[in-house]
Amino acid sequence: MYPIIDIPGDVSSQLEQLGTKAKVWYWNEDDHQVLFKEGRPGTGENWAEKVCCEICRLLIIPHAEYQLASWGERKGVISPSFVPGDGRLIHGNELLAKFYTDYDETRMYQASQHTLRRVIAALEVLDPQPPIGWQVPADINDAIGVFVGYLMLDALVSNQDRHHENWGLINSHKHGLRIAPTFDHASSLGRNETDETRLERLASKDSGRSVEHFCGRAKSALYKTTTDKRPMGTIFAFQEAAKISPIAGRYWLGRLGDLNLGDFEAILNEVPGSEISEPARFFALNMLEINRNRLLSL
């Protein structure tokens, strides 16, 4: 079972204002800065973050590390900072606002200016190197190819939170400009559904209430054009990115094809029962099977 790390109550910390959830930075015993992110009770955010982290590991997608954790009565996950001491994380909204003077960097959701083409164009112009410490595969030639992998992950886990503060670049004197590893995947795998709804969908004969239909509704926070009213679906966002970088698209689908349902089941089975219900575990596995099949059929 994945351990639940107990954080000492007296660690030095500072409250981070970014985001809607309680986030606290502290220094661990190795003098490394670590983020504690509290999951909202009853949402499944903690187990979803951990499961997505382990799926990234299987796919060899560069990612932030997450472990289940508790701080007193507060449950969450911890994640060591992936930003070097001499660097800083530049979020996507800050980058795009420098390229497009009309870009509204304050609007988190329903931000139609946050288009896939704009993200790709910014990565192409800035040409950041791959993430720090990541062994670059032969078929991934640039940061765009890495980002294509992030979008395949989103499609696989139905992550609907790839907004413009959930990707970015790292700039440091020692390492130069790099694309950041993927991070913040808590809005995935139907983690916010009730067990009653999960069981109903799993048993339903109505195609409109099926798990497959549920997966098909997953939306990325990326738009195709600035005039669109709705963001692209997660599968469609990956498909469009793979058209731009087809070698990377084929590479990431090949990585996914090397895995089977048992690999995902083994990850879900390692989540303690105190953190995930059996219906949630089975529902998430069903989603992964459906999304994997949809991706591999492209």
- The CATH number of the domain holding residue 243 is 1.10.1070.20
- Using N-to-C axis directions, what is the helix angle for 278-296 and 246-257, rounded to 10°? 130
Q: Taking 90 as the threshold, does the pLDDT of residue 28 lie above it? A: no
Query: Same structural domain for residues 268 and 139?
Result: yes
| Domain of 60, in residue numbers | 5-80
- Asked if the model's pLDDT at residue 19 lies above 90, the reply is no
Structural domain count of the chain = 2
Same domain, 200 and 93: yes
Q: For residue 223, give the amino acid letter.
A: Y
Residue 156 or residue 11, greater confidence: 156
Q: What is the mean pLDDT of residues 291-298?
A: 97
Do 217 and 133 share a structural domain?
yes
167 and 28 housed in the same domain: no
Question: 21 and 159: one domain?
Answer: no
Residue 18 has pLDDT above 90, yes or no: no
Q: pLDDT band at residue 24, thresholds of 50, 70 and 90?
A: confident
Q: Are residues 59 and 194 in the same domain?
A: no
- Tell which of 80, 112, 142 closes a domain: 80
Asked if 148 and 72 sit in the same domain, the reply is no
Question: Are residues 67 and 24 located together in one domain of the fold?
Answer: yes
Tell me the sheet residues that pair with 35: 25, 79
Residues 154 and 240 in one domain: yes
Question: Which of 80, 110, 137 is the C-terminal boundary of a domain?
Answer: 80
Judgement on whether residues 160 and 229 belong to the same structural domain of the protein: yes
Helices 278-296/261-269 angle, 10° precision: 150
Give residue-wise pLDDT tens across range 226-271. Answer: 999 999 999 999 999 999 999 999 999 999 999 999 999 999 999 9
Q: What is the pLDDT of residues 74-128, one digit of tens each?
A: 899 999 999 999 999 999 999 999 999 989 999 888 899 999 999 999 999 999 9
Q: Is the pLDDT of residue 146 over 80?
A: yes
Q: In terms of domains, do 11 and 70 share one?
A: yes
Taking only the tens place, the pLDDT of each residue in 150-201 is 999 999 999 999 999 999 999 999 999 999 999 999 999 999 999 999 999 9
